[in-house]
């Protein structure tokens, strides 16, 4: 079945200038290629207006919390893996190279990875890894957080292993970073603040003769509520950036369920080999803002002519959709 937004995806899959999202996936240290298998989020504005890919999702009732904007649209390819394989997600901000800052240094928070059959169903996302505040340091030193002290400091690499004996089939990996720099208040109470969620989904096909099936998990949206521990959290009690006196909070409750017992107890990194494909992408000419799709032509970022608009609405299929090949940049 042809997804009505496939053409839209083909138009906007060239992304640069982002908060943070996944640019590539390594399997046992071997790069699979620029954006291969990744459901890349949409731009949120015109190039001359400072638009960027992967605006944070803050509304916990939005379907965008599942795999971000355009998360319902299959990428044109799928990554083949086997149980036990080590996957390294390569998160970046502006370019896929070692000098990129990955995510702003102020965006302290947890990192999480879920797996679900593709397509997701009710309560199908199972948590297989997470990391939050992993070292509390005495005042006035900052604590060490997964997003800023681990992933950002390690070139954007987030590691997870495919569960042992997992049954063959098509799955989505939902990887996520959460920025808590504005999380001292709920988005529900103050919509110019609130925790910032950066979800990104990767299509995989698990091979082999495994027989392990995923247990019941959680839904997105639905897994996080505004009163979920760890969603509203004063990050400055751990970083001490703005605190005038020591505060008592030295632990952090990572949102969502516990890690599935079938996940690997330890996830180690695999040495990453050379990159395949480019490290940057062309400027964009289509973007989505408040569900309005705008397409434009331009000779440079100062001379943009809008050629059409339409409305985007996520349309998740209830059955597996074979990815449609598309021409890459």
pLDDT value, residue 282? 62
Q: 325 in helix, strand or coil?
A: coil
328: in domain: no
With a cut of 90, say whether residue 227 has pLDDT above it. Answer: yes
Q: Say which range, 95-104, 139-148, 224-233, 307-316, has the weakest mean pLDDT.
A: 139-148
Question: In the structure, how many helices (H) and strands (E) does the chain have?
Answer: 3, 15
Structural domain includes residue 134: yes
Position 241 confidence tier, pLDDT thresholds 50, 70, 90: low
The tokens of 273 are what?
């080999």
Tokens of 138: 């005495």
- 199 vs 160, 174, 178, 319, CA distance in Å? 15, 7, 8, 22
Q: Spell out the residues 6+ positions from residue 190 whose beta carbon is closer than 8 angstroms to its own.
A: none
Q: Is residue 319 part of a domain?
A: no
More confident: 86 or 283? 86
Would you say residue 199 lies in a domain? yes
Q: What is the C-alpha separation between 232 and 207, in angstroms, rounded? A: 39
Does the pLDDT at position 289 exceed 70?
yes
Task: Calculate mean pLDDT across residues 236-259.
Answer: 73
Question: Considering the domain boundaries, does residue 175 fall inside one?
Answer: yes
Q: Which CATH number do you get for residue 151?
A: 2.70.50.70
Between 277 and 301, the more confident residue is: 277
Q: What is the mean pLDDT of the chain?
A: 88
pLDDT band at 193 (very low <50, low <70, confident <90, very high): very high
- Asked whether residue 20 is domain-assigned, the answer is yes
Any domain includes 110? yes
pLDDT at 285: 87
Domains identified in the chain, total number: 1
Give kind and range of the element (H or E) at residue 157: strand 157-161
pTM for the model = 0.91
Whether 180 shows a pLDDT value over 70: the answer reads yes
pLDDT of residue 47: 80
Give per-residue pLDDT as tens, 99-130: 999 999 989 999 999 999 999 999 999 999 99
> Which domain covers residue 144, as residue numbers?
6-311
Residue-wise pLDDT for 152-176, tens only, equals 999 999 999 999 999 999 999 999 9
Residue 320 lies in a domain: no
Residue that has been written with the tokens 């042809």 in this structure: 2
């Amino acid at each position: 079945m042809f997804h009505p937004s496939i053409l839209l995806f083909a138009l906007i899959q060239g992304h640069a200038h982002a908060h943070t999202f996944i640019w590539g996936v390594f399997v046992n240290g071997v790069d699979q290629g620029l954006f291969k298998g990744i459901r890349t989020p949409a731009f949120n504005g015109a190039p001359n207006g400072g638009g960027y890919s992967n605006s944070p999702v803050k509304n916990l009732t939005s379907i965008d919390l599942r795999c971000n904007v355009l998360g319902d649209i299959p990428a044109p390819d799928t990554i083949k893996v086997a149980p036990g394989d080590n996957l390294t997600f390569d998160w970046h901000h502006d370019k896929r190279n070692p000098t990129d800052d990955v995510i702003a240094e102020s965006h302290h928070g947890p990192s999480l990875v879920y797996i679900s059959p593709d397509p997701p169903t009710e309560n199908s996302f199972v948590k297989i890894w997470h990391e939050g505040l992993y070292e509390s340091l005495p005042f006035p030193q900052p604590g060490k957080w997964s997003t800023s002290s681990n992933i950002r400091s390690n070139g954007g690499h987030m590691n997870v292993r495919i569960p042992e004996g997992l049954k063959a089939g098509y799955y989505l990996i939902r990887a996520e970073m959460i920025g808590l720099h504005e999380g001292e208040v709920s988005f529900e109470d103050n919509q110019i603040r609130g925790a910032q969620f950066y979800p990104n989904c990767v299509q995989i096909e698990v091979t082999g003769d495994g027989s392990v099936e995923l247990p019941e998990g959680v839904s997105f949206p639905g897994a996080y509520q505004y009163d979920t521990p760890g969603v509203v959290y004063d990050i400055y009690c751990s970083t001490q950036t703005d605190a005038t006196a020591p505060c008592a909070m030295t632990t952090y409750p990572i949102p969502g369920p516990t890690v599935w017992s079938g996940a690997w107890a330890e996830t180690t990194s695999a040495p990453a080999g050379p990159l395949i494909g480019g490290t940057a992408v062309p400027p964009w000419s289509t973007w989505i803002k408040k569900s309005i799709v705008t397409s434009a032509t331009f000779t440079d970022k100062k001379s943009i002519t809008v050629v059409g608009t339409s409305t985007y609405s996520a349309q998740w299929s209830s059955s597996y959709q074979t990815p449609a090949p598309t021409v890459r940049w």
